[in-house]
Structure 1
Amino acid sequence: MDNGLYKRFYDKIGRLNGWDFSKLKVITEGAAWDFYAEVVSRCKPSDLLLDIGTGGGEKLLQIADAALLAVGIDHSEPMVETAKTNRERLGKRHVRFMRMDAGRLEFPAFFFDVVCARHCGFHAGEAARVLTRDGVFLTQQVSEGDKRNIKQAFGRGQYDAAEPGTLLKQNEAALREAGFADIQSFVYDAAVYYESVEDLMFLLTHTPIVPGFGDNPNDLDILRAFVEQNQTERGIRTNEERFMIIARK
């Protein structure tokens, strides 16, 4: 998906849904960590926390009480508006949401104690600049092998042209170049079971896993065949492949 098309897609999802998939009925087996639990474990009550690519703010609002101030940024105005609505509904007065480009953070140097970015692009140099000298940066990203059988069924998919491990290596290299010296990386490939075809359709409609899902007249037929082939007692089986990097300057 090219950048312009992805931006329009992302803005549309921001208006419709935020980035909230909590209503999906799904079982995950083999996930090695919970990303935002990892973020919380590195926050102190006096810390300032930045969430890059916050989407509708759903995850940040869940963990905001771990920090003195939590700030979420996103490049999409509809996402930020959804995040602000969610904040008002929950009454989280120590949380701020702003429209901002991750490549040009409008904060002073050494401002945040913890910076995180989940399933979104980030600029390693900017993350390093706004972190305190003993601050920590955490990111979780979707790996090339995510939803492997779905992408094979449709003959197209997110990152399908990249060699396994490429994205992790690129992220590690960018962080080293930005001055991070202590870099740890982790990978998991978990089994995932979606309860119904409706859950799976929601996922494919609201993410770029299969670019342009529904635009091809054969997509629904492909989906039906996929469900028949991958239906189990636990649900419709696919996989979730993720990597996480934790870095300090």
Structure 2
Amino acid sequence: MKRDVDFEMYIKEVKKPFSGWDFSYITESGRMASGMLSWSYGSMVTPLIGKVSSMLDMGTGGGELLSKLQPFPAVVCATEGYLPNVPIARERLEPLGVKVFQIGDDDLLPFEDQTFDLIINKHESYSPLEVKRTLTDGGIFLTQQVGGSDCAEINTMLGYPINEEFLHWNLRFAENELLENGFEILEAKEEFPVQRFYDIGALLYYLEAIPWQVPGFKLEDSLEKLYHIHELIQINGYFEVKQHRFLVKARKK
């Protein structure tokens, strides 16, 4: 099949470097955009930080978000499980007084019991038992999560099955799990905003950064379906999918 030159150019986006948890290459250029949520994770975190003496940021990525949440309490730590992100996070956060811990498993955090008054978590897995163990009595856990049906249309359009490992992951499941582990739910919301890709290169850049979206994805096996999406973008101006986001604010009893 003969493909146009724009498509061939965009295909090369898969080789672009990605570091930390920074999608600015395609977001700040307007090539990918997400719909608005009815809440702001950052706006919810900021006043909580001002009321505590110790906090933990789980899954800090390259520390991009945490670095913007100053001033910090007296004790602030961060964890990161993706090895390439750890030196990036340390370089950004340690000059700010944040101690960054590399971890391998969210079921075993390297902290003593009742260490933190506040644990925040954006798009990172967690063990309710470990969160409870490391929180002080009455401590707050605030998490924004990516639900199991996130961007499922990408998988469908590319001819790959939806990742069944995470299909159960939604607000109801997370709430029940926290309740069963001794938390009181203070706030909970779940929404499905749209996400748009304005060229096929932006989609490929996204898939390269988030390989778990389409497990087993191979560029060379998907060129025909990618070209079909490229053609749809030429007609509609974008390729639209539905995100899946939920938020829980809970207190340790």
| TM-score (normalizing by structure 1) | 0.80
Q: SS in structure 2 opposite 1:42?
A: helix
Letter in 2 for 1:187: E
Q: CA deviation at 1:157?
A: 5.2
Match of 2:197 among 185, 194, 199: 194
Unpaired stretches in structure 2, ≥5 consecutive residues: 1-16
Letter in 1 for 2:83: E
Q: Which residue of 1 aligns with 2:21?
A: 19
Q: CA deviation at 1:229?
A: 2.3
Q: Which residue of 2 aligns with 1:116?
A: 120
Match of 2:101 among 98, 102, 106: 98
Larger Cα-atom Rg: 2
Kindly indicate whether residue 50 of structure 2 is the aligned counterpart of residue 70 of structure 1. Answer: no
Q: SS in structure 1 opposite 2:193?
A: strand
Q: Give the root-mean-square deviation of aligned CA atoms.
A: 2.5
Match of 2:45 among 39, 42, 47: 39
Match of 1:129 among 118, 122, 133: 133
Q: Deviations over 1:29-55 (max 9, x none)?
A: 232223233222322165322111222
Q: CA deviation at 1:241?
A: 1.4
Matches of 1:41 and 1:81, distance apart in 2: 28
Q: Deviations over 1:196-216 (max 9, x none)?
A: 322221111110211233x25
Kindly indicate whether residue 170 of structure 2 is the aligned counterpart of residue 167 of structure 1. Answer: yes
Moved more, 75-84 or 122-131: 75-84
In the alignment, is the contact (CA less than 8 A) between 1:49 and 1:70 conserved in 2? yes
Q: CA deviation at 1:246?
A: 1.0
Matches of 1:195 and 1:112, distance apart in 2: 42
Matches of 1:146 and 1:162, distance apart in 2: 10
Following TM superposition, where does structure 1 have runs of at least 4 consecutive aligned residues deviating by more than 3 angstroms? 66-69, 157-163, 230-236
Letter in 2 for 1:18: G
Moved more, 105-114 or 166-175: 166-175
| TM-score (normalizing by structure 2) | 0.79
Q: Which residue of 2 aligns with 1:138?
A: 142
Q: SS in structure 2 opposite 1:65?
A: coil
Q: Percent identity?
A: 27
Q: CA deviation at 1:194?
A: 2.6
Number of residues of Structure 1 aligned to a counterpart in Structure 2 = 230
In the alignment, is the contact (CA less than 8 A) between 1:30 and 1:189 conserved in 2? no
Q: Which residue of 2 aligns with 1:182?
A: 185
